[in-house]
């Protein structure tokens, strides 16, 4: 007795058709048509398989795979579809099943609308041509969709399925983003905590302590059908990777960043990351949650590898203190004298072990805090008169002076890079002469290469910041407000340091002249 398996499929492209014949593609109409045909032929219907919202290229269709398994088990003789394209649009699948597996299993395939019939040997070339045409159709559709998406991306329109944490889709315009007040507050907390010196791991801990759900869990709780294949748990817990990803996301300053990932091809579901230079970046497309100044300071700290203490918080000058002589970052070291603990900042080059390259430049952290506090108070007091504030800031915001400062800093950076290269050469000579061990050479070499990379990054930042200097020169009142805001402050903290100081240089102690401490102000 002839047993027939009926297979129906509908994809998004079918649902979105606006032509009058679109109803003929519906699942129910396919079932009605194929059932009637089977009964007219006197065939017994074994089962009706149906996949809704699946592409003809998708090999993970659940009902389709179930049907293939039962075909292999020879539970029916015929597979009946509305057309060959309903069964598959993949040419490789056509060859695998129509001309190989189905012959082995004794299965006949019939496509009603396009007269595709594997019982008809003369029909083989037509089936192959149909397979190619169907695959070309998928490729053309894929390219057309990609082109439309690229146009929208370049116009700064959001095309993602889900808005990033902190935002929501505009119900009146799905390509526009609006601030989600609830999660935006979490974003602000994360940036504030990082600027206060807390590390990403400790920030994750504090968010979990407050029982705030992570982005994946939050989206699921508000009813979004969001899935995260890389999620490490189902409890909604934060981790440092999620926190760092948020801290580096330009979406929070109003810039639309898209095209970070793409499919390998229209025939594959595999997603790969794209190089950063290929991302589509459009500025000022939506309301920012974080100011550009805050974001840029966070990026500077991340690139400088700010490190927190065992309590999760970095010291208030973290990443801002440098050796006046070799330019390397000052490391924090802790010593004990009896029951008392003392925290010092010491030249990184010296701390790494080769004392021929630099001296310690050591300074106690609490003493540095006192000195910087006094300097900031004097700096603020010198601007107490509002007219003096405006006049001084106008002179310091003069565009030519800004450009000159940038040029001087770039020149200084190039000199430091040259010095760095010379030190690396001397290191190699020391290694050859056996003045230092191979392990010391590797450690110091890596350290100075890292320092060189940081200098090159700083040079790149300076070249990119010209427009920001122009913008700042037009916004003199901003600096005036900062000075007035901290008038009479009692205790120095991360925020005050970040508002006033670009970086600090520490000289070596001198019995006659003392220790030189040079502040580089932000304005």
* Mean confidence (pLDDT) of the chain: 81
Please give the pLDDT value at position 248.
Answer: 93
pLDDT range class, residue 21, cuts 50, 70, 90:
very low
Structure tokens given for 494: 């991360």
Helices (runs of H) and strands (runs of E) counted in the chain:
20, 17
Structure tokens given for 120: 């008809």
Q: Are strands 108-111 and 501-510 parallel, antiparallel or unpaired?
A: unpaired
DSSP string computed for 397-461:
T-HHHHHHHHHHHHHHHHHHHHHHHHHHHHHHHHHHTTSS-HHHHHHHHHHHHHHHHHHHHHHHH
Range with the lowest mean pLDDT among 68-77, 281-290, 482-491? 482-491
Please give the pLDDT value at position 259.
Answer: 83
Long-range own/partner contacts, residues 402-408 (CB < 8 A, 24 or more apart): 402/469, 402/472, 402/473, 403/466, 403/469, 406/462, 406/465, 406/466, 406/469
Distance CA 89, CA 105 (A): 22
Q: For the residues 220-249, what does the mean pLDDT come to?
A: 79
Q: For the residues 61-72, what does the mean pLDDT come to?
A: 93
> Domain spanning 167-299 has what CATH number?
3.90.1750
- Which residue did the predictor score with more confidence, 10 or 396? 10
| pLDDT of 6 above 50 | yes
pTM tops 0.75, yes or no: no
Report the greatest alpha carbon distance in the chain.
Answer: 111
pLDDT per position as a tens digit, 354-398: 677 888 899 998 899 899 988 888 888 876 555 565 565 555 555
- How far separated are the first and last CA of the chain, in Å rounded? 90
Provide the phi-psi class of 233: left if phi over 0, else alpha when psi is between -120 and 50, else beta: beta
Q: Is the fold of 3-153 the same as that of 167-299? A: no
What does the angle CA 200 – CA 201 – CA 204 come to, to the nearest 5 degrees?
A: 85
Range with the lowest mean pLDDT among 19-33, 118-132, 319-333? 19-33
Q: Under DSSP, is residue 370 helix (H, G, I), strand (E, B) or coil? A: helix
Long-range own/partner contacts, residues 148-157 (CB < 8 A, 24 or more apart): 150/280, 153/256, 153/258, 153/259, 153/280, 153/282, 154/280, 154/282, 155/282, 156/256, 156/282, 156/285, 157/256, 157/285
- Could you tell me the CA-to-CA distances from 319 to 103, 308, 322, 496, 504 in Å, in that order? 71, 11, 8, 15, 9
Please give the pLDDT value at position 226.
Answer: 67
E strand or H helix that includes residue 203: helix 200-209
Please give the pLDDT value at position 420.
Answer: 76
- Identify the DSSP state of 470: H
Structure tokens given for 516: 């030189």
pLDDT range class, residue 184, cuts 50, 70, 90:
very high
pLDDT range class, residue 17, cuts 50, 70, 90:
very low
Distance CA 475, CA 468 (A): 11
pLDDT per position as a tens digit, 258-305: 888 877 665 666 777 888 888 888 899 999 999 998 898 888 888 866
| pLDDT of 15 above 60 | no
Domain residue limits, the chain: 3-153, 167-299, 315-521
Its sign, for the CA torsion 113, 114, 116, 117, is positive
Distance CA 278, CA 260 (A): 8
Q: Which fold has domain 3-153?
A: Rossmann fold (3.40.50)
Q: For the residues 11-19, what does the mean pLDDT come to?
A: 53
C-beta separation of 201 from 240 below 8 A? yes
Range with the lowest mean pLDDT among 70-79, 104-113, 222-231, 350-359? 222-231
Please give the pLDDT value at position 244.
Answer: 93
The beta strands (E) that lie in 274-361 are given as 280-282, 321-323, 330-337, 340-347
| pLDDT of 100 above 70 | yes
Range with the lowest mean pLDDT among 45-49, 91-95, 413-417, 438-442? 438-442
Structure tokens given for 180: 């989600």
| pLDDT of 187 above 90 | yes
| pLDDT of 352 above 70 | yes
E strand or H helix that includes residue 174: strand 173-179
Q: 447: closest CA among 357, 318, 348?
A: 348
Residue 174, φ and ψ in degrees, nearest 5: -65, -15
Q: Under DSSP, is residue 382 helix (H, G, I), strand (E, B) or coil? A: coil
Q: For the residues 102-114, what does the mean pLDDT come to?
A: 91
Structure tokens given for 245: 């990803």
Q: Under DSSP, is residue 262 helix (H, G, I), strand (E, B) or coil? A: strand
Structure tokens given for 155: 């116009």
Residue 513, φ and ψ in degrees, nearest 5: -100, 0
- Could you tell me the CA-to-CA distances from 362 to 4, 46, 334, 366, 412 in Å, in that order? 86, 85, 12, 12, 23
| pLDDT of 484 above 50 | yes
| pLDDT of 228 above 90 | no
Range with the lowest mean pLDDT among 24-28, 112-116, 472-476? 472-476
Please give the pLDDT value at position 19.
Answer: 42
Residues 6+ apart with CB under 8 A from 426: 357
pLDDT per position as a tens digit, 452-466: 788 888 888 877 775
- Which residue did the predictor score with more confidence, 429 or 231? 429
Q: For the residues 408-419, what does the mean pLDDT come to?
A: 82
- Which residue did the predictor score with more confidence, 185 or 142? 185
Question: Of 30-39, 268-277, 307-316, 437-446, where does the model show the most confidence?
Answer: 30-39
Please give the pLDDT value at position 395.
Answer: 58
Please give the pLDDT value at position 466.
Answer: 59
Structure tokens given for 250: 């330009």
Its sign, for the CA torsion 305, 311, 313, 317, is negative
- Which residue did the predictor score with more confidence, 152 or 478? 152
Distance CA 177, CA 168 (A): 6
Please give the pLDDT value at position 18.
Answer: 42
Range with the lowest mean pLDDT among 28-32, 70-74, 262-266, 513-517? 262-266
Distance CA 164, CA 272 (A): 19
Q: Are strands 108-111 and 78-81 parallel, antiparallel or unpaired?
A: parallel
Distance CA 369, CA 493 (A): 9
Q: For the residues 207-229, what does the mean pLDDT come to?
A: 82
Distance CA 207, CA 213 (A): 8
């Amino acid at each position: 007795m002839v047993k027939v398996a009926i297979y129906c499929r509908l994809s998004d492209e079918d649902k979105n058709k606006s032509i009058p014949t679109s109803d003929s593609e519906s699942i129910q109409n396919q079932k009605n048509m194929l059932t009637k045909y089977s009964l007219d032929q006197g065939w017994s219907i074994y089962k009706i398989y149906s996949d809704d919202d699946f592409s003809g290229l998708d090999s993970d269709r659940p009902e389709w795979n179930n049907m293939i398994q039962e075909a292999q088990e020879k539970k029916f003789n015929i597979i009946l579809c509305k057309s060959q394209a309903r069964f598959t649009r993949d040419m490789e699948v056509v060859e695998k099943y129509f001309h190989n597996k189905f012959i082995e299993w004794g299965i006949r395939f019939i496509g009603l609308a396009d007269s595709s019939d594997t019982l008809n040997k003369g029909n083989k070339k037509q089936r192959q041509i149909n397979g190619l045409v169907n695959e070309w159709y998928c490729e053309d559709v894929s390219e057309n969709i990609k082109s439309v998406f690229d146009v929208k991306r370049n116009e700064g329109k959001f095309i993602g399925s889900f808005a990033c944490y902190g935002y929501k889709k505009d119900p009146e315009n799905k390509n526009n983003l609006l601030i989600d007040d609830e999660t935006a507050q979490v974003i602000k907390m994360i940036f504030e905590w990082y600027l206060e010196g807390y590390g990403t791991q400790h920030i994750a801990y504090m968010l979990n302590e407050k029982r705030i759900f992570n982005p994946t869990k939050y989206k699921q709780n508000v009813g979004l059908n969001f899935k995260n294949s890389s999620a490490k748990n189902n409890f909604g817990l934060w981790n440092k990777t999620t926190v760092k990803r948020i801290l580096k996301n330009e979406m929070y300053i109003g810039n639309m960043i898209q095209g970070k990932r793409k499919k390998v091809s229209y025939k594959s579901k595999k997603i790969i990351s794209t190089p950063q230079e290929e991302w589509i970046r459009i500025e000022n497309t939506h309301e920012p949650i974080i100011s550009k100044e805050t974001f840029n300071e966070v990026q500077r700290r991340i690139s400088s590898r700010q490190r927190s203490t065992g309590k999760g918080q970095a010291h208030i000058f973290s990443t801002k203190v440098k050796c006046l002589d070799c330019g390397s970052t000052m490391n924090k070291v802790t010593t004990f004298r009896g029951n008392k603990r003392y925290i010092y900042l010491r030249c990184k080059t010296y701390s790494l072990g080769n004392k021929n390259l630099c001296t310690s430049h050591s300074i106690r952290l609490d003493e540095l805090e006192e000195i910087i506090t006094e300097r900031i108070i004097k700096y603020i007091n010198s601007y107490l008169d509002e007219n003096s504030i405006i006049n001084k800031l106008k002179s310091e915001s003069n565009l030519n002076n800004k450009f000159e400062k940038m040029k001087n800093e770039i020149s200084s950076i190039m000199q430091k890079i040259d010095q760095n290269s010379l030190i690396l050469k001397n290191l190699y000579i020391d290694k050859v002469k056996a003045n230092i061990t191979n392990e010391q050479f590797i450690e110091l070499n890596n350290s100075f290469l890292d320092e060189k990379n940081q200098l090159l990054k700083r040079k790149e930042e300076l070249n990119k910041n010209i427009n920001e200097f122009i913008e700042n020169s037009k916004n003199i009142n901003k600096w005036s407000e900062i000075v007035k805001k901290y008038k009479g402050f009692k205790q120095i903290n991360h925020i005050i340091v970040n508002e006033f100081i670009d970086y600090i240089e520490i000289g070596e102690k001198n019995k006659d002249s003392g220790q030189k401490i040079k502040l580089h102000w932000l304005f």
